[in-house]
Amino acid sequence: MLELEHGFRVVDTHVVLEPDETRRPRGLGDAEQLEVEMEQAGIVQSLVLPGTREGSYVKANNAAARLAVNRPFRPIARINGTRNPGQGATSRLRNLASSRSEEHTSPDDIEQYAYEDRFYGFILDPAADGMPDEEVLAQLDDAGLPLITYGGEGCPPSAIETTLLGYDFPVIIAHCGGYPSNEAMMDAAIDLLDHHEKCYLDTSFVRTRDPLERALMEHPSQVVFGSGAPEIHPNVAVMEILTLDVPEDAMRKVFSNNAARLFEVLAP
């Protein structure tokens, strides 16, 4: 195993900890092995979430939280919704006809997650899991915990701005807003930081230097490190930041300080 020597305190805001053995990817999918590899990469704490599945996330969230016990893993609750994140006429018509069922995250679910001291935030993939309705978003606003949302072609930065950035809770756009490797969308997500002080980007799955360097030079206090493990090896994700041409202070912010401001549990 390669152990990185870099001298930075690193926390990871984007790690999948899949509780179902049949769904785990090969290699780092096991919680014990993932913990070992994180330590080797110099990552001291990680936010973890279950992988994508159909239906309710309640059981998967609880199972991932159990796997995190006695490990440097801090669970965040995965949520879903009834609405299509698209902005076209077809999406608007579908959203008018949509209604929440038992498999969708409810306001009561949000309240329970937020106040039972096991979960430290929320994560949403609108393209895979739908966008929550206004009642759920209002409860998220009351809870005030950070929300990580997947950004990219399934839910571009413009859709995130319209649906989520009008609330008071912090929003972290994963993949720098441009998965998979859409630099135009990444640039649009970085532009959002000019106008939304509670908007942040995470670095997971960003394979090109230019968007990361631009984000860290222009908005060093609004970028957090996310590895995307286990699909991306944490050593690789850390090295991609270490090789950027940015000041050391910006690296310190992206690796630890910014996430520690958003998630108290990640602070030293």
pLDDT (0 to 100) of residue 48:
98
pLDDT (0 to 100) of residue 161:
96
- Measured on CA atoms in the order 207, 209, 215, 216, is the torsion positive or negative? positive
Q: Residue 246 above 50 pLDDT?
A: yes
Domain boundaries, the chain: 10-266
Query: Measured between alpha carbons, how far is 118 from 112 in angstroms, rounded to an integer?
Result: 10
Fold of 10-266: TIM Barrel (3.20.20)
Q: What would the 3-class secondary structure string for 14-47 be?
A: EEECCCCHHHCCCCCCCHHHHHHHHHHCCEEEEE
pLDDT digits (tens, 9 = 90+) for 39-52: 999 999 999 999 99
The answer to which of 16-30, 32-46, 55-69, 176-190 has the lowest mean pLDDT is 16-30
pTM value is: 0.93
The answer to which of 32-46, 80-94, 114-128, 204-218 has the lowest mean pLDDT is 80-94
Query: Measured between alpha carbons, how far is 266 from 268 in angstroms, rounded to an integer?
Result: 7
User: C-alpha distances in angstroms, 206 versus 76, 172, 180, 220, 241?
Assistant: 22, 15, 8, 16, 10
pLDDT digits (tens, 9 = 90+) for 7-33: 899 999 999 999 998 888 777 878 999
Q: What is the mean predicted confidence (pLDDT) over 61-74? A: 97
Q: Which has the higher per-residue pLDDT, 89 or 108?
A: 108
